Chain A
Amino acid sequence: MKNTSLIISSSRLTEVENMILETLEAHGLQLGTDFHLRTEEAGTVQQLEKPKSEDQFYFDELTRLNNEFIKAQRELAKANAGLKEMVELRNRFVGMAAHDLRNPISIIRSFSEILKNDADLSTDNQEITAIMHRTAIFMQKLVDSILDLSAMQSGKVSLNLAEVEINQLFERMIVQNQILANQHGISIIYDGLDQEVKSSIDSVKIGQVVNNLINNSIKYSPDNSTITCTARIRDNACLFCVQDEGPGIAKEDAIKIFEPFQRLSNNEGRQKSVGLGLSICKNIIEAHGGKIWVNSVEGKGADFCFSIPLS
């Protein structure tokens, strides 16, 4: 007898199995000894087959597994291509939407700025207008960040490279943040490079990253604490770290913190965050061929670091 396949609905599986058993018994044959009943394709195909030798069984299984592996590889590549296309579409859409929002928000911001200082308005209305103005500023920041990120994620990070003395750049960014830190009694210590190091980088964008990391640390640091910034040269790369004494980051958050719009589960920052800053930092550092990461134990502060290769 040749192998026989039956395609049956899953609701009739038991009925058909019993029929097969009865037929085999009528011929003095036994299921499991003289024939095997194999169920495949999610329980809808029954295959009645002669028992295979052990070698043949393993050989067929290996071939089947190999097929499954190749199929999975192909399906994964297809799904990945589909996802890439969707991300590209999303970036394009978000970019377009943000671009179209920019002008109206700018108008609201300007007019609310004029109105909030209008002496003819009642105190209550002045306060309402001031809230409107602050919200417009926040929205403008959000839209600008979305536009930046959208351009970066579409592979459009254009770096304006020039030879820069790195230590000076870091010091400048730290000084800029000192005023904000002082308002909360926070001290910023800089343990910088002990030699002059020049490298070809986009100083505006790297400055943006340093500024963002220090600014975030201030947001999450308790009053009267210390933030320590460190710069080192390691393996022909410049390593820069910002360590604070804030609440730290939960392990599950550390993995996704550089993704867009991720908020921390213990979000206790002083200011409302748009949730895009670290994504933008990641894109900038990666465009320089570097890496960015965070070391943290929840409750014991966070240590954000990046490393960029020296040219």
Chain B
Amino acid sequence: MAAKRYAESIKIIDEHKQKMASEIFKLQMTRNDRLSRYYTDYQKQKCLQDALYNLEYISESLAMDSKELWTSYLNWLKTLLITQGVKAADVVEHFLILSEVLEDYLPQTDLPRIAELIELAVKVFHDQEVELKQGLNKDSPRYEEAKKYMNMLLSSKRNQAIQYIMSLATDSQAIREIYLHILQPVQREIGFLWHTNKISVAQEHYCTGVTQLVIAQFYPIIFASGNKDLKMVSTCVSGELHEIGLRMVTDIMEIDGWDTVYLGANMPNSGILETIAREKADLVAISVTYPLNLHKAEDLIRLIKEDADASKAKIMVGGYPFLSDVNLWQKIGADAFANDASLADGIARRLVKA
């Protein structure tokens, strides 16, 4: 489990974050005449909201004792804000004010850590070039097909996109390839396009919706294949709404010989524990996409390990935050981490049979 070195600071931020965010916003508006005069009400509202998010990410980074998680968030934030025309100097000013406000609230012992986090923020927004990670890669085995599918999605050709993928889905192994080399990279690319302000959130949701429809068409092929020797329950934690990655991993595990029970997004802990015990699962796969849900995954893992029946299952985690800090899975108490859907089966089998 992650050492709660900063437990008091985490508690203070969680309890007072609304008030802190408001103070940060007001201070910046007082000091920066340009922002105060020219920002629209909507932009000011976003500023206040961002202050709240930044505090939440600081709290989560302290809870996970992970500077990597914070850096990853900063890089993501920089891409988002800069592509929307926000000036780097204004963001740096914001972080310096945030640091001042935190100094008034947090215990002295934790302030050096806060200083380190703010220093990282200043460095990212001042100096560092952000490396943009696109989803589609020309060297990928199915690049042309992935590009074709994505263009159909972006042109709102839903039926054509579904038909195209289904024409490639000849058997379960072909579906495995489609997941790994077409759907997964296309979903990442769609996320990248939203992140860099090239498509709207509505377009992103539309594309995801079509991919979900495609996935549902695979079921008759996926579930027709062979004997299943091991059982897996897969779930997102409570509050986690990004479930498409979990669906892909669950289906790939089904193709790879697992009897899977998919629970989905935003699951309450009680339901997860009950299902693991009832299904006598060998493995529980927990997906986290939104980094602020990491502490919920940590709570869930603790509950599973404390439960007499559910604790028989091994715990594997996966998702975006675990890629930014390779030790994170151990810090939250998981038994393993799958950094790629294609490796999940091998890792899980070794874990269950150990």
Contacts and interface: CB of A to CB of B under 8 A. Distances in A.
B263 A71 contact: yes
Interface centre among A40, A60, A74, A76 (most CB of B within 10 A): A74
Given A67-B265, A81-B220, A45 B241 contact: no
Contact of A40 (B243, B247, B264, B271): B271
A63 interface: yes
Given A41-B274, A45-B274, A60 B266 contact: yes
B222 A67 contact: no
B216 interface: yes
A64 B266 CA distance: 8
B102 to A, nearest CB: 24
Nearest to B274: A41
A269 B267 CA distance: 59
B274 A84 contact: no
A77 B223 contact: yes
B187 interface: no
A80 B220 contact: yes
Contacts of A47: 268, 270
A77 B274 contact: no
Contacts of B271: 40-41, 45
A168 interface: no
A70 interface: yes
Interface string B212-256: 000010011011100000000000000001010001000000000
Interface centre among A45, A70, A71, A76 (most CB of B within 10 A): A70
A10 interface: no
A70 B262 CA distance: 8
Given A73-B219, A80-B223, A40 B270 contact: yes
A78 interface: yes
A260 to B, nearest CB: 23
A77 B222 contact: yes
A70 B264 contact: yes
Interface string A68-90: 00110110111011001000000
A23 interface: no
B220 A77 contact: yes
Given A77-B222, A84-B224, A66 B270 contact: no
B269 interface: yes
Contacts of A78: 223
Chain A interface SS verdict (over half): helix
Interface residues of B, number: 22
A256 to B, nearest CB: 24
B253 to A, nearest CB: 12
Interface centre among A73, A76, A78 (most CB of B within 10 A): A78
Given A74-B223, A77-B222, A80-B220, A66 B274 contact: no
A70 to B, nearest CB: 6
B221 to A, nearest CB: 9
Contacts of A74: 219, 223, 260, 262
A199 B225 CA distance: 39
Contacts of B264: 63, 66-67, 70-71
A165 B48 CA distance: 82
A66 B263 CA distance: 10
Nearest to B260: A74
A41 B275 CA distance: 10
Interface in B71-97: none
Nearest to B219: A77
B224 to A, nearest CB: 4
A5 interface: yes
Contacts of B269: 5
Interface in A24-65: 40-41, 44-45, 47, 60, 63-64
Contacts of A20: none
A63 B219 contact: no
Nearest to B251: A74
A189 interface: no
Nearest to B250: A74
Nearest to A82: B223
A41 B270 contact: yes
A114 to B, nearest CB: 51
Interface in A1-37: 3, 5, 7
Interface string B9-37: 00000000000000000000000000000
B216 A67 contact: no
B217 to A, nearest CB: 10
A7 B273 CA distance: 10
Contacts of B216: 70, 73
Interface centre among B247, B265, B266, B268 (most CB of A within 10 A): B268
Nearest to B269: A5
A49 to B, nearest CB: 9
B262 A63 contact: no
A170 B241 CA distance: 63
Contact of A63 (B241, B247, B274): B241
Q: Shortest 5 CB-CB distances between A and B: which pairs? A: A67-B264, A77-B219, A5-B270, A81-B223, A63-B266
15 contacts: A3-B268, A5-B268, A7-B273, A41-B271, A45-B271, A63-B241, A63-B265, A63-B266, A67-B264, A67-B267, A74-B262, A77-B220, A77-B222, A80-B220, A81-B224
Given A66-B265, A70-B262, A77-B223, 17 more contacts: A5-B270, A40-B271, A60-B266, A63-B265, A67-B264, A67-B265, A71-B262, A71-B263, A73-B219, A74-B223, A74-B262, A77-B222, A80-B220, A80-B223, A81-B220, A81-B224, A84-B224
